[in-house]
Amino acid sequence: MSSSYPPQASSTKLSEIRAEAIDWSLAHGLVVRPTIDKQQHFEHNAAVTHAPLALYPTPFPRAEFYKAKNLQLPWNTLIHRMSQDDQLITELMQTLSQVDDFMKRLYDIYVQVKSEGIAQSASLGIHRCDYLLHADLGKDTSTARIQQVEFNTIASSFGSLSTRTSELHKYLLSSVDDYGHGQITMDQLPDNDAVESIALGLASAWKLYGKPNARVMMIVQPGERNAFDQRWIEYSLLEKHGVRLLRRSMEQVVNNGELDPVTRALTVDGYEIAVTYFRAGYGPEDYHGDKEWEARLTIERSLSIKCPTVAYQLVGAKKVQQVLSVPGRLEHYVDDDATASDLRESFAGLYPLDDSLEGNQAYEMALKDAERFVLKPQREGGGNNVYGDDIVATLNKLSVKERNAYILMDLIRTPPLDNLMLREGAILNGQVVSELGIYGIYLNDGENQVVNQVGGHLLRTKGIDTKEGGVAAGFAVIDSPLLV
């Protein structure tokens, strides 16, 4: 890629591109609700703004893009197998439950429902594996290879808005004169069916449940600003599959939900729920009190097919990612050596912070060389990790036992590129790095795999001075890859 990417555009041209991008986004539902202070002129949730987005697609090596896609089917199977491994979950929770109250409460639900007998043996996964490009210091950008940041098993978001962003960049290329400046061609912008894949996953689980009048329920956060990313899934589910979806908070499930004492069918507001799809409930902030925990337990006990089950959520922990990196552990779940080695090739260095020999070595290493690492707790949704000097400060405050709540990971060093980001109408210019997400759709009926699919992609781009990558958390914009 020449150094003049993104294409040089005059300020008049840039204003035109911005105007086209904003109008297309508003017209095509590439939107989010503005922050509360900006909604004040409107009642009844009537205000939207375009989603934070990249004005140009960001270059991404074609081979690495397809490599990530090809890893997704094995990941789907791997996650499912881990979720069925009671020994793994018990091992994981032995120490975590003593230092992480949120994980402990999830585990309590897992244990209780297992001892009662599981009503629904099917499970649905709508996952997303996230990758950054890594090049060793001093090495050429062309050596950059994907390394996995994490895998998400609950509430993986932005599938819909990412599909729309891929379309936006194609639109800008076909509609704005000289947008690409000869540097962007249509065949470099891959199709992205994330929203359709997610809807197909939900529809497949609904069909497996086998009751034509039952509905899908999406568990949402009250006041969700990213509601349109969710709505697109709902509309696709209705339009393409004829399946209806209820949006409910966990509190509403407790207040208006019932479990049939015999079949354990879950009914909410009179509708039987075939599939429960969580877009909330991934972190402690979604559980304001016992009501939400009661809702989570009720759903887990129910006959509805969960996306995800508590077991899926537990094995999505960062600690499991670290355990998998231990020689032999990943291989235990993967049928053939070639696949295992392909998966392993994308692993960054991961280290335990427990009281084992390795744990103590990692602890010393982190104190000595903090800039090389990221310290991660068992949390989701962005903004929870610790970097640089803060690692030393955090580790110094923790007892040996408390360190168990964290893992240590090598910092992935992504060669920066340039791009223009658009946030609430304002253009931000600067060096950026992009994180690629690949969606995975997986349905198992308890004995057999029913669906195993790659489900489209997401590219999130952030300024290099921000460490974390969440779009909703305000750190990043939605982008699409320009395959090079």
Q: Given candidates 64, 100, 130, 234, which one binds ligand ADP under the rule CB under 6 A?
A: 130
Q: Which of residues 322-361 bind ligand ADP (CB under 6 A)?
A: 348
Q: Is 374 in the site for ligand ADP (CB under 6 A)?
A: yes
Q: Is 152 in the site for Mg ion (CB under 5 A)?
A: yes
468 annotated as ligand-binding: yes
- CA distance between the termini of the chain: 8
Q: Are strands 215-219 and 245-248 parallel, antiparallel or unpaired?
A: parallel
CB-CB contact of 363 with 400 (8 Å): no
Per-residue contact string for residues 31-70; x = within reach of ligand ADP by CB under 6 A: ----------------------------------------
C-alpha–C-alpha distance, residues 342 and 186, integer Å = 30
13 binds, among Mg ion, ligand ADP, none (CB under 5 to 8 A by kind): none
Which CB, 186 or 326, lies closer to ligand ADP?
326
29 binds, among ligand ADP, Mg ion, none (CB under 5 to 8 A by kind): none
CB of 313 to ligand ADP, least distance (A): 12
Which CB, 193 or 380, lies closer to Mg ion?
380
- Ranked by CB distance to ligand ADP, the top (closest) residue is 469
378 annotated as ligand-binding: yes
Stretch that binds ligand ADP, among 15-23, 79-87, 231-239, 462-470 (CB under 6 A): 462-470
Q: What is the dihedral of CA 266, 442, 89, 325, to 10 degrees?
A: -160
Report which DSSP code applies to 353.
Answer: -
Q: Is 193 in the site for ligand ADP (CB under 6 A)?
A: no
| Residues assigned a catalytic role | 128, 150, 152, 157, 318, 376, 380-381, 460
Q: Are strands 31-32 and 49-50 parallel, antiparallel or unpaired?
A: antiparallel
C-alpha–C-alpha distance, residues 484 and 482, integer Å = 6
How many residues interact with Mg ion (rule CB under 5 A)? 3
409 annotated as ligand-binding: yes
Q: Is 409 in the site for ligand ADP (CB under 6 A)?
A: yes
Q: Given candidates 29, 381, 388, 463, which one binds ligand ADP under the rule CB under 6 A?
A: 381
Q: Which of residues 423-442 bind ligand ADP (CB under 6 A)?
A: 435
Q: Given candidates 224, 234, 272, 380, which one binds Mg ion under the rule CB under 5 A?
A: 380
In the three-class reduction of DSSP (H, G, I as helix; E, B as strand; rest coil), residue 442 is classed as strand
402 binds, among ligand ADP, Mg ion, none (CB under 5 to 8 A by kind): none
384 binds, among Mg ion, ligand ADP, none (CB under 5 to 8 A by kind): ligand ADP
**What are 301's two structure tokens?**
């006990």
Which CB, 19 or 464, lies closer to ligand ADP?
464
154 annotated as ligand-binding: yes
SS3 content of the chain, % helix, strand, coil (to 5): 40, 25, 35
Q: Where are the alpha helices (DSSP H) in 145-188?
A: 159-175
382 annotated as ligand-binding: yes
Residue 176's region, left for phi above 0, alpha for psi from -120 to 50, else beta, is: beta
Which CB, 39 or 384, lies closer to Mg ion?
384
Report which DSSP code applies to 358.
Answer: H
Q: Is 411 in the site for ligand ADP (CB under 6 A)?
A: yes
In the three-class reduction of DSSP (H, G, I as helix; E, B as strand; rest coil), residue 401 is classed as coil
CB of 138 to ligand ADP, least distance (A): 18
C-alpha–C-alpha distance, residues 88 and 86, integer Å = 5
Q: Where are the beta strands (DSSP E) in 208-268?
A: 215-219, 245-248, 257-259, 266-268
Q: Given candidates 207, 402, 468, 484, which one binds ligand ADP under the rule CB under 6 A?
A: 468
468 binds, among ligand ADP, Mg ion, none (CB under 5 to 8 A by kind): ligand ADP
Which CB, 127 or 248, lies closer to Mg ion?
127
Q: Where are the beta strands (DSSP E) in 37-175?
A: 49-50, 53-54, 58-60, 123-134, 145-152
Stretch that binds Mg ion, among 21-29, 142-150, 307-315, 414-422 (CB under 5 A): 142-150
360 annotated as ligand-binding: no
Stretch that binds ligand ADP, among 43-51, 57-65, 399-407, 467-475 (CB under 6 A): 467-475
Stretch that binds Mg ion, among 46-54, 170-178, 228-236, 374-382 (CB under 5 A): 374-382
Per-residue contact string for residues 149-168; x = within reach of ligand ADP by CB under 6 A: xx------------------
Binding residues: 128, 150, 152, 154-157, 224-226, 230, 279-282, 318, 376-385, 387, 409-412, 435, 460, 462, 468, 471-472
What does the binding site for ligand ADP look like in residue numbers (CB under 6 A)? 130, 132, 149-150, 348, 374, 376, 379-382, 384-385, 409, 411-412, 435, 467-469
What does the binding site for Mg ion look like in residue numbers (CB under 5 A)? 150, 152, 380
